[in-house]
Amino acid sequence: IAAVREIDAAITEKRILPFYQPIVRLDTGEIIGLEALARLQTAEGRIASAGEFHSAFADPRIAYELTGQMLDNVARDVRTWLDAEIPFQHVGVNVTTGDFQRGDLAERMADIFAYHNVPLRHVVLEVNESVFMGGNDQAVPHAVEELRAKGLLVALDDFGTGFASLTHLLSFPVDIIKIDRSFVEQLGVDQPGEVVVSAILDIAQRLDMRVVAEGIETARQSDILRQLGCTLGQGYLFSRPVSARDVTQLLRSFA
């Protein structure tokens, strides 16, 4: 799916859709949230992962359109779950720098979720540190603060993998830190991995931020995370990202 033309066609034909990966309590496996991940249905009907086309997110116009379809679909799915009284807390949507470029992200999100009658407290904005790295430009932190003021939670994705200094990172207006899977991968293999995870948990606790560990693939990793005091996680051990219909079944099983 490298061709921009293919992605353009998918956008025009509304073939961008969210898959959902559960975020669970590591002690009980209970689903406490979801992360929406973009999938592209090809003209032939195959479901392509974001990894196959996420270089396209670098184009602000494509990012804008793609995010629009994602938000619209996510809002509609959330409304369905709320109407069916399916236990559900919040869903994370990924946005990148390009989404902030037009300066209307906060208003746009508010409009889309209001249109579907979904309160913004059910929404988590997932960003990585690069969105905050625009130098002296305060537009992005402002937009993020505006969204938080409307009740959205903000999650800092891929924590620990970028170039921001720790002081800078901790000045970002975020509620949730997502420990990157490169650290989770090292658990049980490498002592430094455990030290980093412990340090992140300690910092988050002191700053009253929640922590979600990403990319948990083994019971061993989950056990170590729990021992270190991490209570929430996501990864193939619990579930791959699945369709809206499949995640509805998963959510129902906890009703």
- Contact flag: residue 246 with Na ion (CB under 5 A): no
Q: In the bound complex, what is the minimum distance in angstroms from residue 144's beta carbon to ligand G? A: 15
The partner in contact with residue 95, picked from Mn ion, Na ion, ligand G, none with C-beta cut-offs of 5 to 8 angstroms by kind, is: ligand G
β-bridge mates for residue 23, sequence order: 33
CB of 40 vs Mn ion, minimal distance in Å: 17
Site string for Na ion, 143-162 (x = CB under 5 A): --------------xx----
By CB under 5 A, residue 104 contacts Na ion? no
Which of 173, 168, 98, 161 minimizes the C-alpha distance to 136? 168
Only segment of 46-54, 109-117, 163-171, 192-200 that touches ligand G (CB under 6 A):
46-54
DSSP 36-64: EEEEEE-TTSPEEEGGGTGGGGGSHHHHH
Q: What residue 193 binds from Na ion, ligand G, Mn ion, none (CB within 5 to 8 A, per partner kind)?
A: none
* CB of 4 vs ligand G, minimal distance in Å: 16
Q: Does 50 bind ligand G (CB under 6 A)?
A: yes
Choosing from 33, 160, 193, 235, the residue that interacts with ligand G (CB under 6 A) is: 235
Sites of contact with Mn ion (CB under 5 A):
126, 157
Interaction mask 57-86, ligand G, x per CB under 6 A: x------------x----------------
- Which one among 56, 62, 91, 95 touches ligand G, defined by CB under 6 A? 95
Give phi and psi for 124, each to the nearest 5. Answer: -115, 130
Provide long-range contacts, Cβ within 8 A and 24+ apart, for 3-10: 4/56, 4/59, 4/62, 6/42, 7/40, 7/53, 7/56, 7/62, 7/66, 8/62, 9/43, 10/40, 10/41, 10/42
- Euclidean distance between CA atoms 19 and 34, whole angstroms: 9
- 178: which residues sit within 8 A by CB, 6+ positions away? 126, 155, 156, 157, 158, 159, 211, 212, 213, 214
Tokens representing residue 40 in the block: 């592209």
Q: Is 212 helix (H, G, I), strand (E, B) or coil?
A: strand
Dist CA 180 CA 133 (whole Å): 18
158 binds ligand G (CB under 6 A): yes
Q: Answer with the entry of Na ion, ligand G, Mn ion, none that 33 interacts with (C-beta below 5 to 8 A by kind).
A: none
Does 108 bind ligand G (CB under 6 A)? Our answer is no
- Dihedral (C-alpha) 58, 233, 35, 206: value to the nearest 10 degrees? -70
Q: In the complex with Na ion, which residue's Cβ is closer, 99 or 214?
A: 214
Which residues are at the interface with Na ion (CB under 5 A)? Answer: 157-158, 214
Which residues are at the interface with ligand G (CB under 6 A)? Answer: 21, 37-38, 49-51, 54, 57, 70, 94-96, 157-158, 181, 214-217, 235-236, 241
